[in-house]
Structure 1
Amino acid sequence: MVKAFGYRSNGGPEVQEFLDVDMPTPMPGELLVEVRAAGVNPVDWKIRSGMFGNASEGDLPAVLGSEVSGVVRGVGKDVDGFAENDEIFGSVAPGSGAFAEYTLVTAGAAARKPPQVSFNDAATLPVAAATAYDGVTQLGLKQGQTLLVNGIGGGVGVAAAQIARDLGMNVIGTGSEDKRTMVETLGATLIPSGDGVADRIRQILPDGVDAILDLAGGDALRAVAELVSDKTKLISAGDFSVDELGGHVIERDRTSRVLEIVAGLVADGKLDPHVEDVRPLDEAADAVAAVEIGHARGKVVVEVS
């Protein structure tokens, strides 16, 4: 049996528990991975809560976690480019979870881990860094233009700020005051979030910004949306109401190509995932809570082995 952390029904943190699950078998296009580390993301607790729809009886119990790094221990049919003992990172296969001793990874959404990149850093790339890369590059800004990262203090925001900075953009970001020091180390300017945030931004940028990458959603998105006049330059990581504001949701690539690019940026010292909190699997509940409550700076990782 494999030790894992997940849930047997949708709900709040109280439904989370440790599970004993069968050793998974890779299907065609999948890799069996001995997990070294798993990134923690807001999407994890949102899926558990039922925000995207309640899980069907056949999908329970479910294991939490969507991004992972580890060592290949089995290769399914129709998989090219991977072999046993390869060190890889990627997104878990449908029906699988990352907070486990072993999991399944979709080969098409995986890449080899560069030796210079730690397992903990690699585990944060498939969701956070890849989303940031997709968003920043889709905006198509030129050097010298200004990008507002709405909710800059989390894993996606930290990566987006660095990617945009290295492409020559000016970066400002909204977030809580306690994240100022970290944000400034990214070469970005922090604007405290909350009531009056748009006015505070206009004090330093009277004409608004050239683009907005929204990672906060909800009222925080609506508070800043009018700061960009070209609504094709308004994109959100997950709030579909951005369509009503004239923008759109980030179009995710989800392929090995992007993973190889962001891993290369880490290997070259151009991207620091800012893994600020590493918890053992036994403390997975605390790791999820840090992200769900919103107190986490940078990325939170569950270290499995």
Structure 2
Amino acid sequence: MPQAYVFTEHGGPEVEAFIDLPPVSPGPGQLLVAVRAAGVNPVDWKLRNGYRRPGSAPAELPAVLGSEAAGVVEAVGPGVEGFAVGDAVFGSTLTGGYAQYTLLPVEVTAHKPDALSFTDAAALPVAAATAYDAVNQVGLAPGATLLITGAGGGVGVAATQIARGFGLRVIGTASAGKKEFVESLGAVHVPSGPDLAGRVRAVAPDGVDAVLDLVGGAALQAVAELVEDRTKLISAADKGTVPQLGGAAVVRLRTAAVLDEVAKLVVAGTLRPYVTRTFPLERADEALRAMEDGHAQGKIVIEVGP
């Protein structure tokens, strides 16, 4: 029977377990995919803890961990067009990615280019797609300055590269230990912490043209004053606070078209997924702990298939 890494109830790491799952068949608009790689994201452990995406139903337990995966189509559901058995694909999962098999919805699944590895493809549907949506949402012209808080994390790394590819000047906040890494992405590094706004003003005396917040809380409130047009203040981390400051949450399009565009950026060399650590499926617990400790740099991926 196919193996998967799940959480059996809501709680901490103690509720995680490996289990065998019965085979499933894809329903209408779905693909059954043999997983080759699965991305690891903060939302994975947050869902285990009990977080629910807005508008989503409670998780059916046991629930397979993982929100993104890449693999090979094993079966095609009724009414599906444009995909066939044997196609290499990547996308957002319906039934979790930390598994030998998963279901992908065709509306958020794209064909994997030959030049893109399964490991890199699995790192794109959550962080890179969020970054792509966010940079497009601020709508800055080339030469404008974008401030990204949390530039050293998964979304921040992708957003910095995409923004630089669009011709923007990027100021990225991150811990002092990530200075060299953030600068290697083409951003001006500003250390996070107290008096953040003052340090940003030291490198941008006239403020910034837009803010992409990936940290929330005090950091978001500190930098809000730096952008005059508050419609250019957006957050992927603090959807409750950002409207109070005159800004808005990042609007996720969640489409196959976005995944296609992100993949093209990788193939073109504009975007590097920065997969910094990989783990086999049997060490999925270690992969999630590496993300959950809050110090991950770049992306972590679980490699499942051959």
State the distance in 1 between where 2:43 and 2:207 align. 30
State the distance in 1 between where 2:96 and 2:304 align. 13
- Structure 1 residues 65-107: Cα deviation after superposition (integer angstroms, max 9, x where no partner): 00000000000011110000000000112xx100000000001
Please state how far the C-alpha of 1:125 moved relative to its aligned partner: 0.8
State the distance in 2 between where 1:238 and 1:195 align. 19
Question: Which amino acid is the alignment partner of residue 11 of structure 1?
Answer: G
The count of aligned residue pairs is 302
Please state how far the C-alpha of 1:238 moved relative to its aligned partner: 3.5
Is the 2:52–2:58 Cα contact (8 Å) retained in structure 1? Answer: no
State the distance in 2 between where 1:58 and 1:139 align. 33
Structure-2 change in CA distance of 1:249 and 1:85 (3 Å): same
Question: Which amino acid is the alignment partner of residue 129 of structure 1?
Answer: A
Pair 1:29-2:29 in alignment: yes
Pair 1:116-2:115 in alignment: yes
Pair 1:141-2:140 in alignment: yes
Please state how far the C-alpha of 1:270 moved relative to its aligned partner: 1.2
After TM superposition, the structure 1 = structure 2 runs for residues 179-218 of structure 1, keeping only pairs within 5 Å, are 179-218=178-217
In structure 2, list runs of 5 or more residues that go unmatched: none
State the distance in 1 between where 2:258 and 2:186 align. 23
SS of aligned partner of 1:108: helix
Please state how far the C-alpha of 1:57 moved relative to its aligned partner: 8.0
State the distance in 1 between where 2:59 and 2:87 align. 32
SS of aligned partner of 2:107: strand
After TM superposition, the structure 1 = structure 2 runs for residues 36-51 of structure 1, keeping only pairs within 5 Å, are 36-51=36-51
After TM superposition, the structure 1 = structure 2 runs for residues 220-259 of structure 1, keeping only pairs within 5 Å, are 220-241=219-240, 242-259=242-259
Give the alignment's TM-score, normalised by structure 2: 0.96
Give the alignment's TM-score, normalised by structure 1: 0.96
State the distance in 2 between where 1:23 and 1:300 align. 27
User: Identical aligned pairs, as a percentage?
Assistant: 56
Aligned to 1:157: 156
Aligned to 1:105: 104
Structure-2 change in CA distance of 1:58 and 1:208 (3 Å): closer
Structure-2 change in CA distance of 1:33 and 1:245 (3 Å): same
4+ residue stretches of structure 1 with deviation over 4 A?
A: 55-58
Aligned to 1:295: 295
- Structure 1 residues 16-71: Cα deviation after superposition (integer angstroms, max 9, x where no partner): 11121111210100000000001111111111111338x98870000000000000
State the distance in 2 between where 1:287 and 1:223 align. 32
State the distance in 2 between where 1:85 and 1:119 align. 14
Please state how far the C-alpha of 1:220 moved relative to its aligned partner: 2.1
Please state how far the C-alpha of 1:12 moved relative to its aligned partner: 1.4
Question: Which amino acid is the alignment partner of residue 220 of structure 1?
Answer: A
In structure 1, list runs of 5 or more residues that go unmatched: none
Is the 2:63–2:96 Cα contact (8 Å) retained in structure 1? Answer: yes
Structure-2 change in CA distance of 1:58 and 1:16 (3 Å): closer
State the distance in 1 between where 2:58 and 2:124 align. 31
